[in-house]
Amino acid sequence: MQQSRTDLQFVVTRAAAAGCRTLSDRASANLSGKFRSDFKSAGTRLITASTGYRGKDVRNNVHYLPTGELLYFCGSIVVLHNVEEHTQRHYTGHTCDIRSVCVHPNRVLVASGQSSRHQRERHPDLELRDPYVSALDLEEDLEHSLTEAHIRIWDSVTLATLKILSGSKAMFEKAVSCLAFSVTDGGNLLACVDDSYQHTLSVWKWANEAKVAEAKGANDQVFSIGWHPSVRNLLVICGKGHFSFWVLDLKRETLMKNSAIFEVVSHPTSYRGRDKPKTVLSMCFSDTGDVITGDSNGTLSLWDPTTYKTKKQAHGVHPGGVFALCISRKGTLLSAGKDRTIAEWETTDLVRRRRPVELPDDAGTPRVISNPDGNQILVGTSRNTLFSGDFETNFDEIVDVSCSCQTKPKTRDGITCASADAAGSLLALGFCAGTWSVMDLSTRDTVFEQKESTQPITAIQFSPNGALLFVATKELSALVYRFDTPQRFCRIARIGTLSSFAISPDWDVSSQYIRANSTVGHIYHWSATSGELVDHATVRDAEWETCNCRISFEAGCVAHSVEGTP
């Protein structure tokens, strides 16, 4: 599934029914006992395995823990993966896409920041609850609903949430794009950047949930922030069109900005006019305390943290830009660029130590590089893939990052939907290019593939008896297939004349009827054998195998609008 090259989080999960409100007692009475129990409990997701990695638009999101686990995130889940033991643990406290993560100096605590949910295609979870009896109850619920961007500090051993920075104290607008724990004071401070219009930089005493200082961070996107490892209360920020040093005054609770001076003593015109980089893409700190940056010109620069000037430069090391930097276990500098090469440098004079190695042609652009142990180098790329290797051997995709779930569709199109049959032997997948396929989960081979449309597949669902398959596309049509063997599928019905494309399909327990929502809020009921619309009264008392529809007899989506937008 990683070959789809999307930021897809494919989770093998056993989840309770989605939170929703009952609309009719009669419909609720028709729910089966097991479903009603799950419906009421709306429990926490129990994840068996998660495959996927977000690398296309983030930095510094791969870390190595003392437990021997790799820490990274995908979607709203932080994955702690033990490569040697082929096991995974998951932190599932977030309610929306995670955008940043950092590890405390004690290597146990973790801070992770997420984006807000109040935007298009983000649907708030509305659990069954008692009516509000006072305005205070409503205010407290809104304060702790955590649909807004916020930061969670949690224990990587117990996975327990320790602190949450959110609500009126934080006022994060869009997403927490960068995080960094302080180093010189043992990690008492946490710096973060809000991905808002002003890219606000704030510093917190996270243990007290108290904001220490706040300032406008930059005029454009911030890629990375970091506390200097030896100079107390010094923050370094880099991004699109800016690179600056910030001094924190704890007594006055202020942040003072000092912009970097882009010039070199030995080459005074190197950073003037057109030569000045448009973007500082990456940065790290050497063991001697120097700040090292990589920019869009493909230049490595060594900075003095006291004068904010460059001491040494290496030009054109990565054509197209230096996207990732890190200090190796040996104290050398590792760099990765748009040219897909990995190079090693001396940190004192920026002299290359050895011949660089190159990632595969389809790897994408490196976004993060790490040296967790010995000679092993980890690289996360813009195509949402993690690679592992060293300078002596080639870099290979980490296939077992999904905890032995190594199933890979032959197509490189993005996966839009998936459904497993009742027996758990077949998996149907829908793709962006209008193709759908069926995979044998025992052999992990594709046994059937069909080009249905030029538009994406929007929904796919097996019937409870395992003999029928519902497929919907963005061409405002849907189809029902019957199959006797996994290699033989036969179309038995075509559904057309939809006002908008179908999503969230359900089958009834007898596999005779199908229902689905449209993107504009309609609900349709069809006969599985003919594809004709069925009168609502006919299926009102039907017992449905699942409750995927957001709007139905027994459930409704209560939101600001049908799409869940403000």
| CATH fold of 415-539 | Methylamine Dehydrogenase; Chain H (2.130.10)
Full DSSP string of 242-293: EEEEEEEETTTTEEEEEE-B---SSSTTTTSGGGS-SBEEEEEE-TTS-EEE
Which ranges of 30-176 would DSSP assign to H, the alpha helix?
A: 33-41, 135-144, 167-170
Q: What is the pLDDT of residues 253-274, one digit of tens each?
A: 999 999 988 764 444 434 554 5
Q: How confident is the model at residue 383 (pLDDT cuts 50, 70, 90)?
A: confident
The pLDDT of 276-303, averaged and rounded, is 94
Beta carbons within 8 Å of 135's beta carbon, 6+ residues apart: none
The pLDDT of 383-405, averaged and rounded, is 70
Would you state the pLDDT for residue 81? 87
Considering only residues 537 and 143, tell me which one the structure prediction assigns the higher pLDDT: 537
Q: Does residue 70 sit in helix, strand or coil?
A: strand
CB 63 within 8 A of CB 71: yes
The pLDDT of 498-524, averaged and rounded, is 90
Would you state the pLDDT for residue 368? 94
The pLDDT of 339-365, averaged and rounded, is 91
**Quick check: 131 pLDDT over 80?**
no
Distance CA 383, CA 368 (A): 12
Residue 114, strand partner residues = 98
Angle, vertex CA 352, rays to CA 350 and CA 353, nearest 5: 120
Q: What is the pLDDT of residues 412-443, one digit of tens each?
A: 568 899 999 988 889 999 999 899 999 988 88
Kindly list the domain boundaries of the chain, sorted by start residue.
Answer: 415-539
Long-range contacts of 25-33 (CB under 8 A, 24+ apart): 27/540, 27/552, 27/553, 27/554, 28/554, 30/541, 30/542, 30/543, 30/554, 31/543, 31/554, 32/509, 32/543
Q: Which two tokens stand for residue 36?
A: 């009603």
The beta strands (E) that lie in 432-564 are given as: 435-440, 445-451, 457-462, 468-473, 477-485, 488-495, 502-507, 513-518, 523-527
The pLDDT of 291-301, averaged and rounded, is 95
User: Rounded to two decimals, what is the model's pTM?
Assistant: 0.67
Say if strands 435-440 and 445-451 run parallel, antiparallel, or are unpaired: antiparallel
CB 498 within 8 A of CB 473: no
Full DSSP string of 154-196: EETTT--EEEEE-HHHH---SBEEEEEE-STTSS-EEEEEE-S
Q: Which run of H or of E encompasses 536? A: helix 536-539
The pLDDT of 188-202, averaged and rounded, is 94
